[in-house]
Structure 1
């Protein structure tokens, strides 16, 4: 039995109530595209998808195998993701 995940997507409250997209708008749709194998479409929808998943994966691995510089790596990946999200947001609102 295949579940249609589009039926379970959460609406963006910022976009719903204020009409303004947030930094996370597009993540769910991008993730669904990634699951279906559309890597380029996923990246175009939400460019931070791959680095964000890399961050989550590193955090999960770090729970099991502790790295010496884990705090530095996690903060660097978080800043990278935030930068990509902000740049993507600025591009979206200007076009």
Structure 2
């Protein structure tokens, strides 16, 4: 028996926080799709999650590295955090610009 988002307790589209930018300006913000992408990832839909919001994956890696650096004081921690931070911002902005153009 397959588990669905209802049995997992994951929010549905109508239960998610609305994007004020989209509601007020009719323009998607750089964060549009993040919630849906997280839900898709938790449902095991890795490809659909990536297509919805590509910035989620470097963001997860960034948060994981920050936690591990704080716990274990990694020698490469600050450089890795800076790199992943730039990668995350670059991915989010690139995705945002592409969505604006298309």
| TM-score above 0.5, yes or no | yes
- Residue 8 of structure 1 deviates from its aligned partner by 3.9
Q: Is the 8 A contact 2:68 2:74 kept in 1?
A: no
Of residues 75, 78, 82, the one that matches 1:71 is 78
Instruction: Give the drift of 1:2.
Output: 4.1
Q: How many residues align?
A: 95
Give, in angstroms, the shift of residue 77 of structure 1.
0.4
Counterpart among 62, 65, 82 of residue 69 in structure 2: 62
Q: 1:69–1:85: structure 2 CA closer, same or farther, 3 Å change rule?
A: same
RMSD: 1.5
Q: Which moved more, 1:80-89 or 1:61-70?
A: 61-70
TM-score by length of 2: 0.84
1:4: Cα distance to partner?
A: 3.9
Which is worse superposed, 32-41 or 8-17?
8-17
Return the alpha-carbon distance in structure 2 between the equivalents of residues 2 and 39 of structure 1: 17
The reply on whether 1:5 has 2:11 as its aligned counterpart is yes
Q: List 4+ stretches of structure 1 deviating above 6 A.
A: none
Instruction: List alignment gaps of at least 5 residues for structure 2.
Output: 1-6
2:28 aligns with 21
In 2: Cα distance, 1:8 partner to 1:33 partner = 15
